[in-house]
């Protein structure tokens, strides 16, 4: 290892921002929250309370794309940022994009259902010089996008990044969450003792991140740190200990150079499901943040999925500047294991620094730190080299996939019956990783120092088609939770986290082809001493055709 100058002192400023929620645009949303008004109403279409955002759709663009473009044009107009330049990048976070297109034909998947196709149309509208980066990491997608954006800016690859997040509601999404019995019959009540489920919403948000203070409009809010972790516990249920989320919070605070006494408030995921809120209270306690004013915004705008991390971070940055946080709508009295500083009313705070968290299916967690203080942190660090020590590509076969993968499973002598319940993409990845780790493993590495970074083009469209087929049959029992959980691409990575105790970063990118992004990001995790070993590569499965190539990257001490 050699000494090199640390780039951690590069300031990442939050500049122009725009949001659209069920409460309106940014100004309207902030005013409504200040007045304690919720935008959640019962919908006859979805037979549940939801938060629907008003959107002007064009003939050329879908609702999802229109929502995104509105926010992006607002940010560009306000900031003057030029995405036609080499030094600027667009990062899009979403869980499902145009998934409603699948209802038109799930046998022959429409091109518009592919996330990279949608992203490219948006990029063409904005005349982007660089291809957008797409992150689909379940409900942490938005916060994950900030972590990735910070890496790209601190490392000097770009000077400016616009982080944008969006998800639009449709039957595909609402029926899936309903199948988990996780939807409340009333607007959600985060952390309240009577909470009984979440409320879905739709939203879009975009914000400029820049290393140039003048371009930020002389912003006083910086993205000071961020981290991603995994519970390695369960693909659809949060950890009972809160350890995964705690690791994300702790690592984000360490990167930002702050301690618990420096934090003014915490904005959490706060979905109002019984186990999520309980888990978060444990993680907050572990991070010694129970005495900090805390809020969840879900009672105002619902759980907006891939948009939530972006929209809620923008609102948190506004709260930082205001010196108070909005109350937690629907909250009255808590029964969480650890008493948190929550109120249905506005709470003031003193320290102008906050933590924003998110958690999601696949065991994923993420946290970022926003800071208004001009702190100086370490100016030197050790540069750590890395080396690919093993590689495995799942072979092609003339056999049908079901027969091929069953033979592969038996050949490695496995007895894990859970294997047969996985999606086909998860099964393909399972076998490839087992073969990879038989070449060289990482048992000597601490779970929190292990990471997995994957990419593909189709996200989870194969599993999506299965879920859509169930919906099309209109069965009296409704959607299957066992099928729906795999309609998130990162759940396949989550299965590997559980299987091999991977509790570090677990990011899933969507690309039209393997650009080397996963390797660059994997190497950065080791170079910046976040982990010691990373499993990375390409993981594609769609309609019986597969392409799975995984590699093992280790630090060189």
Residues 328-361 have pLDDT tens digits of 999 999 999 999 999 999 999 999 999 999 999 9
Q: Which CATH architecture has domain 381-556?
A: 3-Layer(aba) Sandwich (3.40)
What is the reported pLDDT for 2? Answer: 38
Same topology between domain 11-374 and domain 381-556? yes
Q: What's the pLDDT score for residue 56? A: 85
11-374 homologous superfamily: Thiolase/Chalcone synthase (3.40.47.10)
What is the Cα–Cα distance from 488 to 476, expressed in whole angstroms?
24
State the Cα–Cα distance between residues 369 and 351, nearest whole angstrom. 13
**pLDDT score, position 3:** 36
Asked whether the beta carbons of 67 and 305 are under 8 A apart, the reply is no
Q: Are 339 and 176 in contact (CB under 8 A)?
A: no
Cα separation, 36 vs 14, in Å, equals: 26
Compute φ and ψ for 523, nearest 5 degrees: -65, -35
* Average pLDDT score over the chain: 95
The alpha carbon of residue 122 and the mean position of all alpha carbons in its chain are separated, in whole angstroms, by: 20
How far is Cα of residue 320 from the mean position of the Cα atoms in its chain?
22
**Rounded average pLDDT over 507-523:** 97
Q: Is it the case that residue 268 has pLDDT exceeding 70?
A: yes
pLDDT at 380: 54
Would you say residue 5 has pLDDT above 70? no
User: What pLDDT sits at residue 378?
Assistant: 60
Confidence bin at 266 (pLDDT 50/70/90): very high
Domain ranges of the chain: 11-374, 381-556
Residue 1 has pLDDT above 70, yes or no: no
pLDDT for 7 equals 56
Task: Determine what percent of the chain is predicted with pLDDT higher than 70.
Answer: 98
Q: At residue 479, does pLDDT exceed 60?
A: yes
Please state, in angstroms and rounded to a whole number, the distance separating the CA atoms of residues 280 and 286.
Answer: 10
The pLDDT score that the predictor gives to residue 477 is 83
Neighbours of 385 (CB within 10 A): 13
Average pLDDT over residues 527-540: 97
What's the rounded mean pLDDT across residues 67-73? Answer: 97
**Residues of the chain above pLDDT 90, percent:** 91
- 206 token code pair: 């975009």
């Amino acid at each position: 290892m050699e000494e090199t100058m640390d780039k951690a002192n590069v300031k990442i400023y939050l500049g122009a921002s725009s949001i659209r929620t069920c409460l309106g645009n940014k100004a309207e949303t902030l005013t409504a929250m200040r007045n304690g008004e919720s935008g959640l109403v019962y919908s006859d279409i979805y037979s549940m309370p939801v938060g629907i955002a008003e959107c002007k759709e064009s003939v050329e663009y879908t609702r999802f794309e229109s929502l995104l473009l509105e926010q992006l044009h607002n940010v560009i107009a306000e900031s003057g940022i030029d995405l036609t330049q080499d030094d600027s990048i667009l990062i899009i976070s979403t869980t499902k994009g145009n998934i409603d297109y699948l209802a038109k034909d799930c046998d022959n998947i429409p091109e518009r259902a592919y996330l990279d196709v949608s992203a490219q149309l948006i990029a063409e509208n904005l005349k982007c010089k660089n291809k957008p980066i797409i992150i689909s990491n379940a409900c942490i997608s938005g916060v994950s996008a900030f972590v990735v954006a910070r890496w790209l800016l601190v490392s000097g690859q770009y000077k400016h990044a616009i982080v944008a997040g969006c998800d639009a509601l449709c039957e595909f999404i609402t029926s899936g969450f309903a199948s988990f019995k996780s939807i409340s019959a009333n607007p959600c009540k985060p952390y309240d003792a009577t909470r009984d489920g979440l409320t879905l919403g739709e939203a879009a948000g975009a914000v400029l991140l820049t290393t140039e203070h003048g371009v930020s409009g002389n912003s006083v809010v910086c993205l000071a740190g961020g981290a991603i972790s995994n519970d390695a516990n369960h693909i659809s249920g949060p950890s009972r200990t809160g350890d995964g989320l705690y690791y994300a919070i702790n690592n984000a605070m360490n990167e930002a150079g702050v301690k618990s006494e420096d934090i003014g408030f915490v904005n959490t995921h706060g979905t109002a499901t019984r186990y999520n809120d309980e888990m978060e209270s444990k993680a907050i306690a572990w991070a010694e943040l129970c005495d900090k004013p805390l809020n969840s915004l879900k009672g105002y705008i619902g759980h907006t999925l891939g948009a939530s991390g972006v929209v809620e971070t923008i609102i948190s940055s506004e709260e930082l500047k205001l010196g108070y946080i909005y109350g937690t709508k629907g909250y009255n009295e808590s029964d969480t294991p650890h008493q948190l500083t929550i109120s249905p009313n506005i709470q003031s705070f003193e320290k102008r620094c906050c933590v924003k968290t998110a958690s999601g299916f696949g065991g994923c967690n993420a946290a970022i730190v926003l800071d208004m203080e001009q702190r100086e942190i370490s100016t030197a660090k050790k540069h750590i080299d890395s080396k690919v020590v093993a590689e495995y590509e799942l072979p092609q076969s003339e056999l049908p996939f079901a027969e091929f993968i069953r033979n592969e499973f038996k050949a490695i002598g496995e007895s894990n019956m859970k294997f047969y319940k996985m999606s086909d993409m998860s099964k393909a990845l399972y076998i490839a990783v087992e073969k990879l780790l038989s070449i060289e493993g990482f048992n000597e590495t601490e779970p929190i120092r292990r990471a997995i970074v994957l990419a593909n083009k189709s996200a989870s469209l194969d599993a999506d088609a299965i879920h859509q087929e169930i919906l099309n049959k209109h069965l009296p029992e409704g959607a299957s939770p066992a099928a729906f959980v795999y309609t998130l691409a990162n759940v396949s990575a989550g299965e590997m986290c559980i299987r091999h105790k991977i509790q570090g970063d677990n990011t899933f990118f969507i690309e039209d082809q393997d650009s080397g992004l996963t390797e660059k990001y994997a190497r950065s995790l080791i170079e910046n001493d976040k982990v010691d070993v990373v499993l990375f590569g390409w993981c594609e499965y769609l309609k019986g055709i597969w392409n799975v190539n995984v590699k093992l990257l280790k630090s060189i001490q």
